[in-house]
Amino acid sequence: MSTGAASPQQPTVALQHRLNVDSMSSEQLAKFRAAMASAMSISDERGYNYQAGIHGLPLPISCDVAHGHPVFLPWHRAYLYFFELTLRDLQPDVMLPWWDWTTDSAIPGAYNEATVDGKPNPLYSAKVDPVALEQGARSGDPRAPNTVREPGAEGAPPLPTKAEVEGVLALPSFEDFTHQLEQLHNNVHVWVGGNAGHMGDIQFAAFDPIFWAHHVMIDRVWRIWQLRHPQAGVPAALLAQALAPFNMTVTQTLDTSALGYDYALQVNGTSGTSE
């Protein structure tokens, strides 16, 4: 995988690596929780509610241009990128982790504890924007004021398996790949949300903190597909498409190293200073 991005202003820039949430050190997890908690305490456009609301309610529902459409992956890559930058304004170097639902058959522990060290765990639940709640109720979709989950409720589709992900990764055409990956993505939303949970509902899904870990996993699968199919790509007709409300086109999402990140199973190392 890439190790650095070159630009005229910054010839060598170290990439940041997104990690599996189960592989994060306690220090990394604490920083991530601190960033999320800080974002949740901010009520303006730097805050969690604003960022989560971009996906669904309050109106407009911006992700509507992305679901069931070939820009599903680029749009969500841009969404994650800008949200991650928002967090890094609050906690430098923090990165969004991924939830590998092919190996975890349950909500990851980091997201499943109501409290940590006696304080509310910001990865467990989040307050939902009251305007979103009011609009949802008007649409006949009343939801709890704090996000809840009903993982694995009876009647939900199962979580994707490794074999299913490998099957999707083997698809050589981007259109086929994104369509089938989006199906696996939909299954995870409904598996987490169940009946009353926010994740199972487009209008509220992004308010649940686990939304981001789920979508980082989806973005990671796309990154792996890009590496396995270097000659394949997004159809040319889509490349110049803008990904509203983000000031980014599809082309600008294709190279994760140009966005300053990549995926790693582990990052080990130490200071280069010797005694």
Q: Which of 25, 41, 64, 166 binds another protein (CB under 8 A)?
A: 64
**Tokens read off for 105:** 């058959």
| Cα 275 to chain centroid, rounded | 41
Determine if 247 is a binding residue for another protein (CB under 8 A): no
Q: Which of 84, 100, 129, 201 binds another protein (CB under 8 A)?
A: 201
DSSP H or E segment with residue 247: strand 246-249
Running DSSP on this structure, what letter comes out for residue 194?
T
Whether 88 contacts 94, CB under 8 Å: yes
Binding segment toward another protein, per CB under 8 A, in 47-55, 80-88, 130-138, 248-256: 130-138
Distance CA 98, CA 67 (A): 20
Determine if 183 is a binding residue for another protein (CB under 8 A): yes
Q: Which is nearer to another protein, 45 or 175 (CB)?
A: 175
Q: β-pairing, 4-5 with 242-243?
A: unpaired
Helices assigned H by DSSP within 98-173: 109-112, 130-138, 162-169
Strand residues in 47-137 grouped as ranges (E)? 115-116, 119-120
118 Cβ neighbours under 8 A, 6+ residues apart: none
Determine if 203 is a binding residue for another protein (CB under 8 A): yes
| Site track for another protein across 73-112, x = CB under 8 A | ----------------------------------------
> What burial letters (b/e) apply to 170-181, b meaning 16+ CB within 10 Å?
ebeebeebbbbb
CB of 29 to another protein, least distance (A): 29
Determine if 235 is a binding residue for another protein (CB under 8 A): no
Residue 111 main-chain phi, psi, to 5 deg: -100, -5
Tokens 């930058």 correspond to 85
Q: Which is nearer to another protein, 145 or 157 (CB)?
A: 157
Binding segment toward another protein, per CB under 8 A, in 34-42, 61-69, 111-119, 216-224: 61-69
Q: Which is nearer to another protein, 33 or 198 (CB)?
A: 198
Determine if 179 is a binding residue for another protein (CB under 8 A): yes
| Site track for another protein across 137-176, x = CB under 8 A | -xxxx--------x--xxxxxx-----------------x
Determine if 187 is a binding residue for another protein (CB under 8 A): yes
Binding segment toward another protein, per CB under 8 A, in 84-92, 109-117, 189-197, 211-219: 189-197
Determine if 67 is a binding residue for another protein (CB under 8 A): yes
Q: Which of 28, 112, 161, 186 binds another protein (CB under 8 A)?
A: 186
**Residue 263: strand, helix, or coil:** strand
DSSP H or E segment with residue 89: helix 72-90
Distance CA 266, CA 222 (A): 19
Residues at the site binding another protein, with contacts judged by CB under 8 A: 57, 59, 61, 64-65, 67-69, 135-136, 138-141, 150, 153-158, 176, 179-180, 183, 185-187, 189-190, 193-196, 200-203, 205, 244
